[in-house]
């Protein structure tokens, strides 16, 4: 490997970050409101929901899968949590219950892909539809509101998930949103998991060449199931943060969230056929999408135009990443 | 058709692959093009057929200077390249593949199925092969796919045929058929450029030989005037010594015994055993079930039944993980689809089979990682930029060394090698043979599956021959010869 890298290689490797930087500089330059620290922290909070889902999605895609069910898992876990609250369970039970449920939903998708030998796209299309239906059945298709008030114990914990702020002792005027903290913590965990552990190696190997990985003793089926489980867990966590923030749960939550998550992963340079990609790229992808949403809103761009602009940015970023 | 290539230079980036290379092809001859992997044989031919553009030099065809811009132009002129890699659409049928891009139509783009089928059948008959033309390409064996590739070349009226390792995946009988076809073509005035690593074939088939080394022209000789040793010397620029290095090993106890291994489709009642330090050669025609038996031993054939004993104790092997735990290593036939994470660097490939070795409590240990990979690159003399060199950029021989390194560091008691030297040049071949000998000397039980008879005969202690899923004989290599093995391989008895 040559030590010196030319500019092309650097752009190829950090393309998403360069795009993110350009976008930030541009938005900051034309909008004083955008560059306010409070707005940037808010942006981070907005990014956290898609971010958590996209981290799980990165694992699934790295192992040569795809998870369309994330939005439905997001909603069904949220609804399960809300139902548990209404049954009078303490916050910790509701939260853990929803997380376990989300994980199991992911495991089911994984089982359909591995043992059921369905293509990931089809398998998760099935679970996506089923989970959405279940969420509607559970709630009778009605929102469940006043969640925090209905909690018998630990409502503080529940509220903190989506609404809370972390205030550093040294800078009392900065409020760091808890969702953003969870996002950063998750990033650290995923980075470690994918880059520093044997599990990470197995995920990459499975996505790169499952046949070869299986022959050297990697249980590729187990690895695949585990990535869907991770995706389910992360979607459930994001769902919990969302209902904590809006203090109500409805079965239509998280619709088409899978698209933003997949877009973030693609923006980050992860190969859709598995085996290649980085979690740091996904972070950049998530922030690009969040900055676009936030910035275009502040600039007062109509939402129809926003979608078109988003599409163009994704296209340009992915095309420029292909030149390697 | 006479072709003359002179002073050809070609660089990819900073890497000069051809330096003043040349080549002279006469009408109606079979001309071998030889050289180690990376010597520039394929590149030179790709320049001739317009796949690559040359940096310098001239090409004359029948005295007229030409510069084909793409393979289609060369094909129109009658120069057809049959690539080593199979270039087929695996989801389509044989007939659809044969006529891809040159369909016979009734006009308005409507395919004339009948005419195409007739022409396809005619070409098949001319080749003497019987491949159903409605079969889906992906369902055929590698050998059959190769035959379809050759048929495809014969569909156009070729005057010069360039064949890059056409027999690498063919069985003995398919090879014989191919040679007959080639001889027939030559009689009709077709010239053939034959790229191969198989010395026996070249001496059987070719009229002249041109040798390249490190991208340069070394010489052209009449086959009848030189010996195999001369060729090797020209190829590597030094003496290589014996082709099959000597092994001096005292065999130990029986390590693995296989009893009544059967599979509903591929093989029945396979029985054999291998001792520590022994090399058991496995021979047979392609499709005889050799590879499948090996996959079954490795737990990769769920429907297989039978007993496997390791060190005298019966073991249950239901998947590759249990096989590895039982001390088996398996270098598979197809290193590109099964042996390597092709797009990943050397480091990842060696590490993935040795994750326990390079980690502490499931967390990767960079020091151990670097140590293991560096050791692999040095011990196996893998030619590369470094640990981060991606495997798809390595030559066949070096790719195979990565696979060997990866498995040998798992310290197997039993190592199965399925066609370990396919597509590997002579220098690397010999290194692989030495590795096998070293393993045997360390007391590993080696099972060597190979389609190359000289290799099986030269490397094995005993040879097991498989014919249509049955073991037709296990013979002592000291008393075996090609004839005996072929008799058994075709279902005869001694």
What ranges do the domains of chain B cover?
3-78+157-236, 254-489
Query: In whole angstroms, what is the distance from residue B310 CA to residue B89 CA?
Result: 42
The owner of tokens 């694992």 is: A59
Q: What is the separation, in whole angstroms, between the first and last Cα of chain B? A: 47
pLDDT one-digit tens code per residue, B140-163: 877 788 778 878 877 877 889 999
| Predicted pLDDT of residue A2 | 41
For residues B462 and B273, the answer to whether their CB atoms sit within 8 Å is no
Q: What is the pLDDT along chain B (494 residues), one digit of tens a residue?
A: 899 999 999 987 777 889 999 999 998 899 999 987 778 888 899 999 999 999 999 999 999 999 999 988 998 898 988 887 777 788 888 888 888 877 888 888 888 888 888 888 888 887 777 888 888 988 887 778 877 887 887 787 788 999 988 887 777 777 888 888 888 888 888 899 999 888 888 999 999 999 998 889 999 999 999 998 888 888 877 666 677 888 888 899 999 999 999 999 999 999 999 999 999 999 987 778 999 999 999 999 999 999 999 999 999 999 999 999 999 999 998 888 999 999 999 999 999 999 999 999 999 999 999 999 999 999 999 988 899 999 998 888 899 999 999 999 999 999 999 999 987 877 888 899 999 999 999 999 999 999 888 899 999 999 999 998 999 999 999 999 888 998 898 888 88
Query: In whole angstroms, what is the distance from residue B48 CA to residue B66 CA?
Result: 9
What is the topology classification, in CATH, of domain B254-489? Rossmann fold (3.40.50)
Mean pLDDT for back-to-back runs of 10 residues, chain A (324 residues): 52 77 93 91 94 98 97 98 94 96 98 97 98 96 93 88 85 85 96 96 95 94 98 98 95 94 93 92 95 93 90 81 57
pLDDT one-digit tens code per residue, B305-336: 999 999 999 999 999 999 999 999 999 988 88
Question: Alpha carbon B388 to chain centroid distance?
Answer: 25
Alpha-carbon torsion (A243, A53, A75, A253), positive or negative: positive
Q: What is the separation, in whole angstroms, between the first and last Cα of chain A? A: 15
Q: Which of residues 207-246 of A touch B (CB under 8 A)?
A: 208-209, 211-219
What number of residues does chain A have? Answer: 324
Q: How far B388 CA sits from the closest chain A CA (Å)?
A: 6
Residue A250 buriedness (CB in 10 A; 0-12 / 13-18 / 19+): buried
**How many residue pairs bridge chain A and chain B with CB atoms within 8 Å of each other?**
76
Q: How many CA atoms lie within 13 A of B198 on its CB side?
A: 23
B-interface mutation test, from A9, A194, A216, most B Cβ less than 10 A away: A216
For residues B288 and B467, the answer to whether their CB atoms sit within 8 Å is yes
Q: How far B160 CA sits from the closest chain A CA (Å)?
A: 36
Residues of A in contact with B385 (CB under 8 A): 1-2
Q: Is B364 in Cβ contact with A201 (below 8 Å)? A: yes
If DSSP codes are grouped into helix, strand and coil, which group holds residue B458?
helix
If DSSP codes are grouped into helix, strand and coil, which group holds residue B199?
helix
- Residues contacting residue A127 through CB under 8 Å, at least 6 positions apart: A69, A72, A73, A105, A108, A109, A112
Question: Alpha carbon B405 to chain centroid distance?
Answer: 19
**A2 in contact with B, Cβ within 8 Å:** yes
What is the CATH number assigned to the segment(s) B3-78+157-236? 3.40.50.300
Task: Find, among B230, B155, B156, B164, the residue nearest to B193 by Cα.
Answer: B164
Report in angstroms the alpha-carbon separations of A18 from A40, A180, A287, A321: 18, 22, 12, 11
Q: Is B330 in Cβ contact with A215 (below 8 Å)? A: yes
Q: Is B341 in Cβ contact with A209 (below 8 Å)? A: yes
Q: Is A204 in Cβ contact with B355 (below 8 Å)? A: no
Q: Residue A46 CB: number of other CB atoms within 10 A? A: 20
Q: What is the CA radius of gyration of chain B?
A: 24
Transcribe B229-271 into DSSP letters. Answer: HHHHHHHHSS----SS--------SEEEEEEEEEETTTEEEEE
A196 → chain B, closest CA residue: B364
Q: Residue A66 CB: number of other CB atoms within 10 A? A: 21
Task: Find, among B332, B290, B485, the residue nearest to B419 by Cα.
Answer: B332
Q: How far A212 CA sits from the closest chain B CA (Å)?
A: 4
Q: Which domains does chain A have, with CATH numbers?
A: 32-322 (1.10.3470)
B384 → chain A, closest CA residue: A1
What ipTM was estimated for this complex? 0.85
Adjacent-strand bridge partners of A176: A166
- Residues contacting residue A58 through CB under 8 Å, at least 6 positions apart: A190, A194, A265, A268, A270, A277, A279, A282
């Amino acid at each position: 490997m040559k030590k010196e890298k030319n500019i092309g290689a650097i752009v190829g490797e950090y393309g998403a970050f360069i795009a993110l930087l350009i976008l930030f500089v541009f938005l900051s330059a034309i909008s004083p409101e955008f560059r306010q620290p409070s707005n940037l922290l808010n942006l981070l909070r907005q990014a956290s929901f898609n971010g958590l889902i996209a981290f799980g999605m990165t694992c699934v895609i790295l192992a040569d899968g795809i998870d369309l069910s994330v939005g439905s898992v997001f909603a069904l876990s949220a609804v399960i949590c809300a139902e548990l609250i209404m049954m009078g369970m303490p916050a910790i039970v509701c939260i853990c219950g929803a997380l376990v449920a989300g994980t199991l939903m992911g495991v089911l998708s994984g089982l359909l892909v591995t043992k059921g030998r369905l293509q990931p796209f089809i398998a998760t299309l099935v679970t996506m539809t089923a989970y959405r239906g279940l969420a509607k059945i559970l709630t009778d298709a009605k929102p469940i509101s006043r969640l925090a008030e209905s909690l018998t114990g630990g409502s503080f914990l529940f509220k903190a998930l989506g609404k809370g702020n972390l205030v550093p002792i040294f800078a009392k005027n900065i409020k760091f949103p808890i969702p953003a903290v969870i996002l950063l913590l998750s990033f650290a965990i995923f980075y470690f998991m994918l880059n520093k552990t044997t599990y990470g190696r197995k995920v990459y190997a499975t996505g790169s060449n499952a046949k070869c990985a299986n022959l050297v003793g990697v249980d590729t089926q187990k690895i695949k199931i585990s990535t869907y489980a991770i995706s389910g867990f992360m979607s459930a966590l994001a769902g919990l943060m969302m209902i904590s923030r809006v203090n109500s749960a409805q079965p239509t939550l998280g619709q088409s969230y899978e698209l933003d998550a997949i877009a973030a992963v693609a923006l980050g340079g992860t190969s859709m056929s598995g085996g290649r990609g980085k979690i740091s790229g996904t972070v950049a992808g998530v922030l690009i999408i969040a900055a676009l949403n936030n910035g275009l809103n502040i600039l007062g761009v109509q939402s129809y135009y926003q979608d078109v602009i988003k599409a163009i940015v994704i296209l340009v970023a992915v095309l420029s990443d292909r030149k390697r | 058709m006479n072709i003359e290539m002179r002073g050809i230079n070609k660089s990819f980036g900073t890497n000069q692959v051809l330096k003043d290379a040349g080549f002279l092809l006469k009408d109606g001859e079979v001309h071998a093009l030889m050289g180690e992997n990376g010597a520039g044989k394929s590149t030179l031919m790709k320049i001739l057929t317009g796949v690559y553009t040359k940096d310098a030099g001239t090409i004359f065809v029948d005295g007229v200077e030409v510069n084909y811009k793409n393979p289609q132009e060369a094909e129109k002129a009658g120069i057809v390249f049959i690539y080593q890699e199979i270039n087929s659409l695996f989801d389509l049928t044989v007939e659809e593949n044969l006529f891809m891009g040159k369909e016979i139509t009734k006009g308005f783009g409507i395919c004339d199925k009948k005419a195409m089928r007739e022409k396809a059948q005619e070409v098949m008959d001319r080749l003497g092969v019987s491949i159903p033309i409605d079969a889906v390409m992906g369902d055929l064996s590698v050998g059959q796919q190769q035959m379809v590739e050759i048929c495809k070349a014969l569909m156009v009226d070729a005057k010069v045929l360039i064949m890059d390792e056409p027999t690498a995946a063919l069985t003995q009988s398919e090879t014989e058929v191919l040679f007959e076809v080639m001889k027939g073509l030559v009689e009709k005035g077709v010239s053939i450029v034959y790229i191969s690593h198989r010395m026996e074939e070249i001496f059987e088939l070719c009229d002249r030989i041109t040798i390249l080394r490190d991208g340069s022209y070394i010489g052209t000789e009449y086959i009848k005037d030189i010996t195999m040793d001369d060729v090797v010397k020209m190829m590597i620029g030094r003496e290589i010594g014996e082709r099959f290095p000597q092994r001096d090993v005292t065999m130990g106890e029986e390590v693995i015994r296989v009893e009544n291994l059967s599979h509903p489709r591929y093989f029945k009642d396979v029985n054999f055993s291998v001792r520590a330090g022994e090399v058991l050669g496995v021979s047979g025609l392609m499709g005889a079930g050799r590879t499948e038996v090996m996959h079954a031993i490795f737990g990769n054939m769920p429907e297989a039944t039978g007993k496997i004993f390791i060190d005298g104790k019966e073991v249950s092997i239901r998947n590759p993980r249990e096989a590895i735990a039982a001390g088996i290593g398996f270098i598979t036939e197809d290193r590109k689809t099964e042996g390597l994470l092709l797009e990943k660097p050397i480091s990842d490939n060696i590490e993935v089979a040795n994750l326990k070795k390079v980690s502490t409590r499931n967390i990767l240990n960079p020091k151990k990682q670097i140590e293991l990979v560096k050791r692999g690159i040095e011990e196996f003399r893998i030619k590369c930029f470094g640990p981060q060199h991606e495997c798809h950029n390595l030559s066949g021989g070096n790719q195979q060394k990565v696979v060997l390194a990866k498995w040998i560091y798992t310290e197997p008691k039993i190592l199965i090698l399925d066609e370990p030297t396919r597509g590997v040049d002579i220098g690397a071949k010999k290194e692989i043979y030495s590795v096998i000998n070293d393993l045997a000397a360390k007391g590993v039980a080696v099972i060597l599956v190979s389609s190359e008879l000289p290799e099986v005969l030269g490397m094995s202690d005993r040879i097991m021959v498989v014919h249509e899923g049955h073991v037709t004989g296990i013979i002592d290599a000291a008393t075996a010869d090609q004839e005996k093995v072929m008799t058994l391989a075709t279902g005869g008895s001694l």
